[in-house]
Amino acid sequence: YWEKAEFPFHVIPKLADLRVAGGTIKGYGSPGLSVTGSAIAIAEMARVDASCSTFVLVHSSLAMLTIALCGSEAQKQKYLPSLAQLRTVACWALTEPDNGSDASSLRTTATKVDGGWIVEGQKRWIGNSTFADVLVVFARNTTTNQING
């Protein structure tokens, strides 16, 4: 897979069996590991395949944790159980072409409209994005000028 620049999708069910998705998140089907336990699990995965450990880190420590910390209770109930079981995959979109990962300088905007949001801007280096079911996108709310994910 490394030589072909492909992700080994067939291992996702096996990763799900390890019950590490969600890492330190408590509840919602996540394992509620200690920080140390989560780090050891990721390190052991990386010993075998760095792409698998990166996949789990982006999915769990970035996307899922953002939902757990910043999402509404309805969003947590909707997304976290399926993500914890790896039935769905998440990605995390913060980095922008001109500002890198400086969240305070975000140029991507989100405008509330009937039925949802209009998001305008550019992101780059979004791990898991080519096959994710759930996208956590950081944008500046045009009404409040606050940064929301």
CATH code of the domain covering residue 33: 1.10.540.10
CA distance linking residue 45 with residue 37, whole number of Å: 12
1 within some domain: no
> What's the token pair of residue 141?
């709310």
Predicted confidence (pLDDT) per residue in 102-146, tens digit: 999 999 999 999 999 999 999 999 999 999 999 999 999 999 988
Helix ranges (H only) for the chain are: 12-18, 35-48, 50-56, 65-70, 73-84
96 within some domain: yes
* Residue 149 confidence class, pLDDT cut points 50, 70, 90: low
Predicted confidence (pLDDT) per residue in 43-74, tens digit: 999 999 999 999 999 999 999 999 999 999 99
CA distance linking residue 97 with residue 20, whole number of Å: 32
3 within some domain: no
- C-alpha distance from residue 134 to each of 42, 59, 109 (Å): 21, 9, 19
Residues counted in the chain: 149
Report which residue type is found at 27: G
Total domains in the fold of the chain = 1
4 within some domain: no
Ranges assigned E (strand) in 35-138: 90-93, 109-113, 116-120, 134-137
72 within some domain: yes
Domain residue limits at 50: 9-148
103 within some domain: yes
2 within some domain: no
